[in-house]
Structure 1
Amino acid sequence: MGLIVNGGNAKSSAFEAIKAAKTGDFDKADAKLKEADDFLIEAHNSQTAMLTEEAKGNHAKVTLLTVHSQDHLMNAITFRDLAGEIVDLYKRLAK
């Protein structure tokens, strides 16, 4: 669940960064991107713990929830990357 919760929070923060940049509030946009990064670190830590257990031979049963959590995390990472680009674009347009 750490992947889903933190991935979802990261995506939400990234979206808030875009909304802030759209209104010209670049300090808030940067803070929201940082917040998204922090959530992604937490999600990555959950993922690393799962991978470590797998490497130790403690194989987890692959369920739809497991697949969904990985999908959720990958979406959040992609969205965060694109949000950073969009915020940068709004900054350039504001100059």
Structure 2
Amino acid sequence: MDDNYLNVVMGIIMNAGNAKGLAHEALEAAKLNDFEKADQLMTESSQALAEAHNVQSDMLTKEAQGDHTEVNLYMVHAQDHLMTAITYQDLVKELITLYKKNMNFA
């Protein structure tokens, strides 16, 4: 396994992990009714997720061009992080929306 491959895997893992962590911080801010902070953190989370997704998209483009990427446990782990971060971010967006709606009824 070469350094470039590890950089790709770690790029996905780190950016997806950052995206998930920032989304969690946004949820905590929403619980405290700090929606400005929650929105800012979700913007940062989306940026980190876009970085992870860009790394994945580059890999997919190379694969389509015939440059095969080895799939091993590291890559599976990276993809797991990415998909979990995407799902968690989607859920947090919905929860923040609910917190905002509840504030209107308080």
Pick the TM interval, shorter chain: over 0.9
Which one-letter code corresponds to 2:32 in the other structure?
A: T
2:67 alignment partner, SS class? coil
Alpha-carbon distance, 1:94 to partner: 1.0
Identity, % of aligned pairs? 54
Structure 1 unaligned residues grouped into runs of 5+: none
Structure 2 unaligned residues grouped into runs of 5+: 1-9
Q: Which has the larger radius of gyration?
A: 2
Which residue number corresponds to residue 44 of structure 1? 53
| Separation (CA, whole Å) in 1 of partners of 2:18 and 2:85 | 9
Indicate which of 28, 33, 49 corresponds to 2:37. 28
Which residue number corresponds to residue 100 of structure 2? 91
After TM superposition, the score normalised by the length of structure 1 is 0.97
Name segments (4+ residues, structure 1) moved above 6 Å. none
Q: Does 1:55 align with 2:70?
A: no
Which residue number corresponds to residue 74 of structure 1? 83
| Separation (CA, whole Å) in 2 of partners of 1:61 and 1:92 | 46
